[in-house]
Amino acid sequence: MTDVTRRTLFGTTAGLAGAALITPALAAAGRQEPQALRGSVQDGKVSLPPLHNPSELNGTVPNPMPSGRRLGVAVVGLGTLALENIIPGFGEATSVRLAALVSGEPDKMRTVAAEHGVPERSLYTYEDFDRIRDDPDVDFVYIVLPNALHADFTIRAARAGKHVLCEKPMAASVEQAEAMVEACRAAGRRLMIAYRLQYTPEHRTIIEMARSKAYGDVRLIEAVNGQNDAANGQWRQIRAMSGGGSLPDVGLYCLNAFRYITGEEPVEVTGQITRPKDDPRFREVEDIALFTLRFPSGVVAQGSCGYSFHESRWLRVQAETGWFGLDPAFGYDNLVVDINRKAGRASATEMRRFTPKSQFAEEMDAFAASLNANEEPRTPGAEGLQDMRVMAAIYQSAATGRPVAMPVAMPAASGLDVTRGPWPKALGPFVPA
C-alpha cells in the first residue's frame, strides 16, 4: 500500500492541484479522513478543529476581514519604527491595511510603496499632507514622527476628517497634548495613543492578576526600562524635537504601566534626573530618571529609566502572598510573565509565554474595532495627556527637590480607568484565555 503524505499529495509538477483529489488519494490508500477535520465556514469565518489534546496549545485561524472591508491606514513618517515594526505589522493585522504613506524623503517613500503595493496617488509629502482629506482609501493616520511634530500632524489630520493613531509620548509638552485632544474633539474624530502594551495578552494578564487580587493586595510596583544609546545626535537627544530624554521615551512605559495596573491616578509624584556633563548625548536631555508615584489605595510605584546602561526592561508587582511581573516587559517581542508564590515548604515560580504576535498589529486592530463600534478607543487622548502631566510633575520635582501633588485627572469621573475607553468587544474578553 502506498503511503499518502504531503509530499506524495502535493509534490509533483501537476501537484494534485485541487483539494478534491485528496479524498480519492486517501481512498486509494484505504483510509478516509473524517469530514469534520476539514473545517467549516460560518458567518464568513473559517474554523478548524484542534489537532492536539486539550493539554497542548492549539492555534486559531486568523480570519482577517476581506481587503475591501479593512480600514485604510496612512503611515506618517518612515523612520526606524515605521519600517522595522509598524509596516511589517500589517501582515499580521486582520482589520486594517496599508493605504498611504507620508514622508519628506520621496525616494525612500517610493521604494517602500513599491515593496508594499501602495499606489503613487496615495503618496504624500509633509507639505501637501492636507490633500489626504480627499483620499477615500484612508480612514485613519498613524503618526510616527518626532514627538514635537505629533501635535501639528494630529491637528491637520483631524481637520482633514481623519481619525488619528499617534505614537507615544503623545507630544513634547502638556500644552501640545491638550491642543491635540481639543482638535480631535472639535472635528468629531477619534484620537488613540499607541500604548501597544495595553493590548498585549501579557500585560492584560498582569492587570487582571492585580485587579482580582490573585495574590492579595498589591503593595509595591517596580519597573526599569533602559538602553545604551549611540552618541549620534539622533532627534531623541535634541530637546526641541523630543521634549525630554529617557523619561518620555522609555520611562513612559513604566509610569503608564503603574497607572493601568492599578487603574488609579497618582496623588503624589517625586523625581530625580541625571545629566552627565561630558557626555554629548546629554547636552540637552536627561540620562537617568528616577520617579516614585503614590496612589490613593496606598500602592507605591518606583520606576527608573536611562540612556546609558545595557538594555534592561522589567516589571514586578509585589503583592501580599506572591509577586508577578514581566522580564522582559517592555520590548516588541519575547515578553514573559513570571509568578512567584509559596508552594508548601517551597517557593514556586511559574512562567507563562503567549503565542507571539505583532504588538503593532494588535493595537491597529484594536483601534479599528473601536472605530467600527463608534466607541472611544481603549487608550484615547486623555490617557496620553495624563501621562504628559505626570511627566511634567516628575521634572518639576527633580528641579525643586520636593514632591508634587497631582490634581485629579478628571474631576467628574470616579472609579478606575477614568482616562481609558472600553475594551473593544470585537477583540473578545479582556482577560486572555
Q: Where in the sequence numbering do the catalytic residues fall? A: 168, 253
Sequence-distant (≥ 6) Cβ neighbours of residue 222 within 8 angstroms: 301, 302, 303, 315, 316, 318
Sequence-distant (≥ 6) Cβ neighbours of residue 89 within 8 angstroms: 358, 359, 360, 361, 364
How long, in residues, is the chain? 433
Residue written as cell 538602553? 227
Residue written as cell 476539514? 38
Strands 123-124 and 96-102: parallel
The dihedral region occupied by 16, where left means phi > 0, alpha psi between -120 and 50, and beta the remainder, is left
Strands 268-273 and 404-405: antiparallel
Cell of 103: 514622508
Alpha helices in 57-105 (DSSP H): 80-81, 87-89
Of 329, 288, 394, 74, the C-alpha closest to 198 is: 329
- Please say whether the beta carbons of 276 and 308 come within 8 A: yes
Cell of 193: 495613543
Q: Is the dihedral of CA 107, 112, 118, 122 positive or negative?
A: negative
203/253 Cα distance (integer angstroms): 12
The dihedral region occupied by 162, where left means phi > 0, alpha psi between -120 and 50, and beta the remainder, is beta
SS3 75: strand
Sequence-distant (≥ 6) Cβ neighbours of residue 278 within 8 angstroms: none
235/218 Cα distance (integer angstroms): 38
Of 330, 324, 292, 325, the C-alpha closest to 311 is: 330
Phi, psi of 90, rounded to the nearest 5 degrees: -60, -25
